[in-house]
Amino acid sequence: MNELTSLSVAEMRSGLLSKQFSCVELVDAHLSRIEATNEVLNSFITISSELARSAAQNADSVIAQSGEESPPLTGIPVAVKDMLVTEGIETTCASQILKGFIPPYQCTAVSRMCKRGAVIVGKTNLDEFAMGASNENSSFGPVRNPWDTKRVPGGSSGGSAAAVSAGQAPLALGTDTGGSIRQPASLTGIVGLKPTYGRVSRFGAVAFASSLDQIGPFARSVEDLAVLLQAIAGKDERDSTSVDEPVPNYSEAIAKGENEALSKLRVGVPKEYFIDGMDPAVEDSVRKSLGVLEKLGATLVDVSLPHTELAIPTYYILNPAEASSNLARYDGVRYGLREPADSLQEMYARTRAKGFGPEVKRRIMIGTYVLSAGYYDAYYLKAQQIRTLIINDFKAAFANDCDVIAAPVSPSTAFAIGEKADSPLQMYLADVFTCPINLAGLPGMSVPCGSDADGLPIGLQFIGKPFDESTLLRCGHAFFKQSSFDIRSMARKQATEFAI
């Protein structure tokens, strides 16, 4: 593995400023890594080599002129989930219905990171329209986990997670609707954060379930994660759901936390997140991690989130309902795939039948059903009422008992490709510890905390109060520093063992 592809963002920044290497050399190293590994991992749908090299040349000019005054991400390669529209770069959502679509505008989060100097190296693979927990639903084929290429990387942002884990990019953007950043981060041994709903603009994120979707960062350390979050956070007038809330200096919050450790911090431990059927290795790693938090000065507090067991059925009513509404726009009329037919209705039917995959069709049909006359009150309205109860559970826990909640991310480590393909229900249960956070609109982060007997990574989830990403980063960084988990060593091991 090229040394440049294993550096932290801070080390890359330092090397660029001290002229140890150029932005072009840094980007070329990552493009070479992608070229050498993508056939195995299938993590990228589009590799934007020419645009990346052009942006890197411009970044070198910026550093030559401005030095330390240059934007913090100048010349740093970043991978972007192919759910975020990118001007001049194909955006497919891993669906045949959008194949060949080149957007005429840029997603706000992507635009903001590019203004801070980031270089887009490509668009990453995902479950089609972000509908999945394994990255097997892509029309471009499944993504493979760099830790074991016979296993899934998690989903739906599996391509972004695999890219960061395998050294194809030091940073990546994903989206999280029910766990799609945190779960793949856990399964690939990296750090991933879903911000508070409204913290990051959704403008330019292709809509899946609009009340649940949120854009967030992946990285190999909490410090690197903070840099990318800083770049994309903040109010956007083009997104009415983004919130005009001051954006703290996340790197300073981490530095401050280093001096204070986790003293006086109350960490809630929800009993409902330790369930029958959970992988014993996951529970053991999470329990040991709670002990580490105590040693760092935190006080563990038992909390109850009594409506957790209702989160999955609630989520899988609201999620398909919103998807059914949002995906109605893909009709063959305005953009994307258009199948010829003798009538308008036949064209709609043929286009959608050919353009959408099985999981997308399944969710559209479920969503249309629960929104239909005669069923709306029994399903959709009831789910919204239960969502309120789940929100209130978190409010009560944070108001009375704790400052942050620690829990598992996934009930298991990475499973084999195809293992759950014939059981949608088993696949949906992969979101059992993550989807409640989306329903409540809270921030959540996955940090590596251990591995199972096969060496597969396990993630610890931190859940925070609304717009309190600073506390999550502080907790995650303090814990990560104490962890024996080493993503760089694993990346070198991958390069040898998997011939990538």
Tokens of 128: 């089609």
Q: What is the DSSP string of 132-164?
A: -SSS---TT----BTTBTTB---SSSHHHHHHH
The amino acid occupying position 126 is: L
pLDDT bracket for residue 485 (50, 70, 90):
low
Q: What is this structure's pTM? A: 0.95
Q: What are the backbone angles phi and psi of residue 446, rounded to the nearest 5°? A: -105, 130
Q: Is the pLDDT of residue 491 over 80?
A: no
Condensed to tens digits (0 to 9), the pLDDT of residues 353-401 reads 999 999 999 999 999 999 998 899 999 999 999 999 999 999 999 998 9
Condensed to tens digits (0 to 9), the pLDDT of residues 192-245 reads 999 999 999 999 999 999 999 999 999 999 999 999 999 999 999 999 999 999
Tell which residue, 132, 138, 135, 31, has the closest CA to residue 78: 31
Displacement of CA 312 from its chain's centroid (Å): 19
Q: Could you tell me which residue, 31 or 489, shows the higher pLDDT?
A: 31
- Domain spans, the chain: 3-307+388-497
By DSSP bridging, strand 191-194 and strand 215-219 are: antiparallel
Condensed to tens digits (0 to 9), the pLDDT of residues 82-133 reads 999 999 999 999 999 998 999 999 999 999 999 999 999 999 999 999 999 9
Tell which residue, 411, 409, 428, 410, has the closest CA to residue 359: 428
Tell which residue, 119, 114, 80, 121, has the closest CA to residue 231: 114
Residue 81 falls in the annotated catalytic set = yes
Catalytic one of 43, 180, 324, 446: 180
pLDDT bracket for residue 421 (50, 70, 90):
confident
Query: What does the alpha-carbon distance between residue 170 and residue 260 come to, in Å, rounded to a whole number?
Result: 28
Q: Is the pLDDT of residue 320 over 90?
A: yes
Q: What are the backbone angles phi and psi of residue 123, rounded to the nearest 5°? A: -110, 130
**433, HSE (Cβ side, Cα atoms, 13 Å):** 33
Residue 201 falls in the annotated catalytic set = no
Q: Could you tell me which residue, 276 or 158, shows the higher pLDDT?
A: 158
Q: Is the pLDDT of residue 498 over 90?
A: no
Query: What does the alpha-carbon distance between residue 361 and residue 227 come to, in Å, rounded to a whole number?
Result: 38
What is the per-residue pLDDT for 489?
A: 56
Look over the chain and give the mean of its residue pLDDT values, rounded to a whole number.
94
Return all residues near 450 (Cβ < 8 A) that are at least 6 apart: 281, 284, 285, 288, 289, 457, 458, 485
Query: What does the alpha-carbon distance between residue 319 and residue 434 come to, in Å, rounded to a whole number?
Result: 14
Condensed to tens digits (0 to 9), the pLDDT of residues 256-301 reads 767 677 988 999 999 999 988 899 999 999 999 999 999 999 999 9
Catalytic one of 43, 81, 95, 412: 81
Residue carrying structure tokens 């635009």: 111
What is the per-residue pLDDT for 493?
A: 55
DSSP state of 98: G
Domain covering 3-307+388-497, topology = Amidase signature (AS) enzymes (3.90.1300)
The amino acid occupying position 277 is: G
Tokens of 348: 């709609």
Catalytic one of 156, 186, 242, 324: 156
**Given phi > 0 = left and psi -120 to 50 = alpha, else beta, which region is 270?**
beta
Residue 481 falls in the annotated catalytic set = no
What is the per-residue pLDDT for 7?
A: 96
